[in-house]
Structure 1
Amino acid sequence: MSSTATVYLDHNATTRPVPEAVAAMVQALQQDWANPSSTHGPGQDARRLLAHARGRVAAFLGCSVAELVFTSGATEANHMAVLGAVKASGRDRDRVLMSAVEHPGLQALAQRLQGEGVKVDLIPVDAQGRLSLAAARSLIADNVALVSVMGANNETGVLMPVAEVAALARAAGARMHVDATQLAGKAALGFAASGADLMSFSAHKLGGPKGVGALVVRKGLALPPLLSGRQERVRRGGTENVPGIAGFAAACDRAAATLPADIEHMGALRRRLEDALSALPGVHVYGREAERLCNTLCLRFGSLDAEQVLMKLQRAGIVASSGAACSAGGTQPSHVLLAMGESELNAKAGVRLSLGPETTAAEIDATIAAATEHLLPLLAQAEAQPVSLGVS
């Protein structure tokens, strides 16, 4: 696809930095470039900028300034939360619980923990992608160190019952971590009211720069650092990314000012897109009966492979993504859709369309037209092909 494509529907993967974030970063690079740990004048200027940015990010995330730890992104924040909570727990707490639909980064971390002797159990979801509270209730026991549940699924947009799970974890004496990466800029946030002990974020999901994120650590919780050093109240070593943090704060300011209108705007356009595409023959929408993010639509066109669908849309100038993972051996089915009970064939067919605040009605209409023109013939062709039963 050429660079002239204008319809970007992959905001859950990353967002365009908002102008305010770019301007803040440029100013920090040009004027406040000194090390904020230095005691001289330029260093203290950078330190004041860092402190001001910290306050704005904390206000947006609904936590106190002292609870906020800047990281390189949500992946580092997730590792810091999970590994730190496990290390801080006693020997009697040797289990970690995660939802079955966590981000691949956390799934890889779970495999690492298992290799180190930590038992990891997965909390199942139903056919709509909703977390089973009954299963969570039966799994959370006094030998659990940490429960980690994402705030909203990155593929389906389905919201998870964070407060309810946090209450179960608290009653069992376990810590609760929420990967809130997909919530920022798409839903109201409130760390203090969530009941979570730890919460992860990434700036580039809400119009900030890549390479910067945050972990919120509830006041009074002792968490061993992943990176040793005296920065971030001795909780995360390394010179702070002042330009990135400045951009993060500017993006938070923008999101805070526009969030109610953004939610209404993206929700209306998502519904318009969903209604039109679900009317096409063979289209199935995932999580339709569940509470979802305002901007996220996950669906399949019959059992057409997602890569085939995305290629057709891409040629028509529509940028989207799939939940299926690509490897040298081909496309692997989405673990999220498998956890929802889908077959491997259908789990390779899931396509995610994720909107942003700048998405327009004209772009949604262009997407509907492209799907109708380019995918309907493929669906008809697939339906006309005889199904092999494997009988010789």
Structure 2
Amino acid sequence: MDRFVYADNAATTSVLPEVMESMLPYLKEFYGNPSSLHRKGREAKRAIDDARMRIAEALNCKANEIYFTSCGSEADNWAIKGAAKARADKGKHIITTKIEHHAVLHAMRSLEKEGFEVTYLDVDNTGYVSPERVEKALRPDTTLVCIMYANNEIGTIEPIAEIAKVVKAHGALMFTDAVQAVGHIPVNISELGVDLLAFSGHKFHAPKGVGALYIRNGVRIETLIDGGGQERSRRGGTENVAEIVGMATALDLAVSRLDEMERVEKMRDRLIDEILKIPNSFLNGGRTRRLPGNVNVGFEFIEGESLLLMLDMAGICASTGSACSSASLEPSHVLLSVGLPVEKAHGSLRLSLSPENTAADIDYILEKLPPIVQRLRDMSPLYNKG
């Protein structure tokens, strides 16, 4: 192995040294339970309050609208199930898209078993859903619309602010899963106009195990986890103080480094341009309205799993799609939803970059990838060598 390149940042990111440093005091010294009245508890409570304020400032919302969770999937489930059930007296119709993360889609399936009706919107061949398509799907009994801010597989950025205007005019709630957006592109909640927004720390260099849900003041939502009254009695469970502090630090750093995303975009575009020079390769998703670090390409006549294994042997960490389902041999529901045939969907590769990546990383990927693709094709009975 010549070197190591981590290009799976959409799955998870490394914990930055500054983030780790900010967490250590709350693992070693300020270890009290935030619900305790003594000084150790008060110290922990102050840390949570400070983190909440910093996160709210970074996202341009009010501190009392941020609720900490264990991850993005919990935040997604809480937003969807909590809001739908709280408004069931007004209607039981929900709108979402076919390319959402499985946390959203599985929450929808769960609600369908309880009598809710869900409309799954089609997207175009880049994964884009238009406000007009959402508007046409709205019904008198629609109470909730759930559309992701940015897709985890193909990087498509949706027009959330425009969609939210349509949804709000109808009187429904607007939820966006912003797990792939926060920390990677500017996210201004007040300008978006959404009612609910989920994000997860480990997608922007905080540890795994901490996330949050923005709930606009005045929005009714049922509790998902009952407990001891934490998070203003909306989310039970002792708070993960150190990781909450770490997430606030990571978000501060991410926002301060957003200008570096121009460099990440250039690395992304170079990867796409050079990879598409490989015969019988193609881009999944569009060239515009795309996350700065997302590259999703496909190669005919090979299997993505074999490609991943050979890249791994060369020291390159990548993915075939969502990390939450990459162990499955089923083709990506996202790629199928944008019109890719099953045989092409099986040959997909996702490379996801962060500011921690370098131009040398891109050089190395471009050095190793083409011969690996050719080697796999030479072994494929489907490939015409003629």
Aligned counterparts of 2:317 and 2:239: Cα–Cα separation in 1: 34
Structure-2 residue corresponding to 1:215: 213
Are residues 5 and 119 of structure 1, via their aligned partners in 2, closer, same or farther at CA, if it must alter by over 3 Å?
farther
Are residues 136 and 42 of structure 1, via their aligned partners in 2, closer, same or farther at CA, if it must alter by over 3 Å?
same
Deviation at 1:51, TM superposition (A): 1.1
Q: Does 1:81 align with 2:55?
A: no
Structure-2 residue corresponding to 1:230: 229
TM-score after normalising by structure 1: 0.93
Secondary structure in 2 aligned to 1:245?
A: helix
Aligned counterparts of 1:264 and 1:385: Cα–Cα separation in 2: 38
Deviation at 1:386, TM superposition (A): 5.8
Q: Does 1:348 align with 2:376?
A: no
Deviation at 1:135, TM superposition (A): 2.3
TM-score after normalising by structure 2: 0.95
Structure-2 residue corresponding to 1:158: 156
Structure-2 residue corresponding to 1:292: 290
Structure-2 residue corresponding to 1:135: 133
Aligned counterparts of 1:315 and 1:295: Cα–Cα separation in 2: 23
Aligned counterparts of 2:301 and 2:376: Cα–Cα separation in 1: 10
Q: Does 1:305 align with 2:303?
A: yes
What code does the residue aligned with 1:251 have? A
Structure-2 residue corresponding to 1:241: 240
Aligned residues of 2:131 and 2:166 also touching (Cα < 8 A): no
Aligned residues of 2:130 and 2:159 also touching (Cα < 8 A): no
Aligned residues of 1:206 and 1:252 also touching (Cα < 8 A): yes
Q: Does 1:9 align with 2:7?
A: yes
Secondary structure in 1 aligned to 2:257?
A: helix
Q: Percent identity?
A: 37
Deviation at 1:132, TM superposition (A): 3.6
Structure-2 residue corresponding to 1:201: 199
Deviation at 1:62, TM superposition (A): 2.0
Secondary structure in 2 aligned to 1:232?
A: helix
Aligned counterparts of 2:383 and 2:247: Cα–Cα separation in 1: 51
Q: Does 1:270 align with 2:268?
A: yes
Aligned counterparts of 1:36 and 1:372: Cα–Cα separation in 2: 53
Secondary structure in 2 aligned to 1:321?
A: coil
Moved more, 21-30 or 127-136: 127-136
Aligned counterparts of 2:29 and 2:281: Cα–Cα separation in 1: 53
Moved more, 149-158 or 228-237: 228-237
**Which structure 2 residues correspond to residues 1-392 of structure 1 after superposition, within 5 A?**
6-228=4-226, 229-261=228-260, 263-323=261-321, 325=325, 331-379=329-377, 382=380, 385=383
Deviation at 1:383, TM superposition (A): 8.4
Aligned counterparts of 1:124 and 1:180: Cα–Cα separation in 2: 19
Q: Which runs of 5+ in 2 are unaligned?
A: none
Aligned residues of 1:185 and 1:259 also touching (Cα < 8 A): yes
What code does the residue aligned with 2:242 have? P
Aligned counterparts of 1:123 and 1:346: Cα–Cα separation in 2: 22
Secondary structure in 2 aligned to 1:331?
A: coil
Aligned counterparts of 2:18 and 2:307: Cα–Cα separation in 1: 35
Structure-2 residue corresponding to 1:390: none
Deviation at 1:97, TM superposition (A): 1.0
Aligned residues of 1:285 and 1:300 also touching (Cα < 8 A): yes
Aligned residues of 1:270 and 1:295 also touching (Cα < 8 A): yes
Q: Aligned Cα RMSD in Å?
A: 1.8
Moved more, 35-44 or 292-301: 35-44
1:258-295, CA deviations, whole angstroms, 9 ceiling, x for partnerless residues? 1112x112111111111111111111011234410000
Deviation at 1:133, TM superposition (A): 3.1
Secondary structure in 1 aligned to 2:329?
A: strand
Deviation at 1:5, TM superposition (A): 5.7
Aligned counterparts of 1:326 and 1:82: Cα–Cα separation in 2: 24
Aligned residues of 1:312 and 1:375 also touching (Cα < 8 A): no
Aligned counterparts of 1:236 and 1:384: Cα–Cα separation in 2: 53
Deviation at 1:126, TM superposition (A): 0.7
Give aligned pairs, total.
382
1:326-385, CA deviations, whole angstroms, 9 ceiling, x for partnerless residues? 56xx71010001100111111222211000111011110100011122112434665874
1:113-136, CA deviations, whole angstroms, 9 ceiling, x for partnerless residues? 111111111111111111143321
